[in-house]
Amino acid sequence: MNTKRRTAIVTGAARGIGAAIARRLAADGMAVAVIDLDESACADTTGSINDAGGTAMALAADVADEAAVNKAVAGVADALGPPTVLVNNAGVTRDDLLFKMTAQDWDTVVNVHLRGSFLMSRAVQGHMVEAGFGRIVNLSSTSALGNRGQANYAAAKAGLQGFTKTLAIELGRYGVTANAIAPGFIETEMTAATAQRLGMDFADLKKAAADQIAVGRTGRPDDIAHAAAFLAGEEAGFVSGQVLYVAGGPTN
Ligand code: NAD
């Protein structure tokens, strides 16, 4: 149980994994700021939190835009109090084999994941240090281990692991932990889009993926929300700089 009401920011929380994390942190007693590209797209997430008796607000920001990030974090601090929990979840894919990958597709993916997580963490860390408490959770991926067609995404997700460990080292003395979750296949619009790109039915892609997963099923956003709730919780203060693979089995 939280002894004190915390304010959390979850990026990319209009849908998918981010929405599940936002709902779970709110259910655990946190006030939650839902950040995504389009404020109106956040209405489902904030509406369900507020309907359940929680506190949520929506803000539009592109996490790769420095001015927008600083403005959004200041807005959260004003409206909900200093943010001391940050989940860097916003993400995009621009998959292609290396020889076809455009520089634009490289930059877009690296900017959203790496620059976005950097800008958000830098904007929030002052509030955490001042509070003597903070929890940063970054969304990596099993793709960090290498994945055909995802040179940009794999590099960004591996980069996030080094970023996470460095934040843990720099901020630990201020009561701030930083950890990464590396999901395997999770059923969201992101993986549905992958099926479309491959010319496959989503059900067939899920079945093919499940056949390769030890627990025999693909993941759901709530599987990641459970892990995020643990890492963001009060009691997880001695867990820092870790990468938790949430993938239904061991990873190589
Ligand atoms: P999703 O595409 O369903 O949702 C991503 C959200 O991020 C969207 O609401 C989108 O609008 C938002 N977003 C994108 N760019 C943004 C930006 N610049 N600024 C603010 N918001 C932005 O994806 P998801 O499957 O829910 O994935 C969430 C995170 O988990 C991502 O970081 C993704 O890379 C990671 N992940 C997903 C899977 C999976 O199988 N779905 C596996 C491993 C890791």
Length of the chain in terms of residues written: 252
How far away, in angstroms, is 173 Cα from ligand 1 center?
30
Strands of 28-98, DSSP E: 31-36, 56-60, 83-88
Instruction: Note whether 59 and 39 are within 8 A (CB).
Output: yes
DSSP β-ladder status, 7-11 and 83-88 = parallel
What confidence score (pLDDT) does residue 1 get? 46
How far away, in angstroms, is 11 Cα from ligand 1 center?
9
Annotated catalytic, 174?
no
Would you tell me the crossing angle of helices 16-27 and 43-51 to the nearest 10 degrees? 20
**Cβ of 243 below 6 Å from ligand 1:** no
What confidence score (pLDDT) does residue 3 get? 53
What confidence score (pLDDT) does residue 2 get? 47
Instruction: Note whether 18 and 63 are within 8 A (CB).
Output: no
User: Residue 113 carries which side chain, given as an amino acid letter?
Assistant: H
**Cβ of 63 below 6 Å from ligand 1:** yes
How many Cβ atoms sit within 10 Å of the Cβ of residue 196? 12
Per-residue tokens: 232: 């963001």
**Residue stretches of the chain with pLDDT short of 70:** 1-3, 252
User: Residue 209 carries which side chain, given as an amino acid letter?
Assistant: A
Q: 118, 153, 163, 245: which one is catalytic?
A: 153
Measured by CA distance, the residue closest to atom 16 of ligand 1 is: 90
Instruction: Note whether 185 and 192 are within 8 A (CB).
Output: no
First to last CA, the chain: 34
Domains recognised in the chain with CATH numbers = 7-184+219-246 (3.40.50.720)
**Cβ of 114 below 6 Å from ligand 1:** no
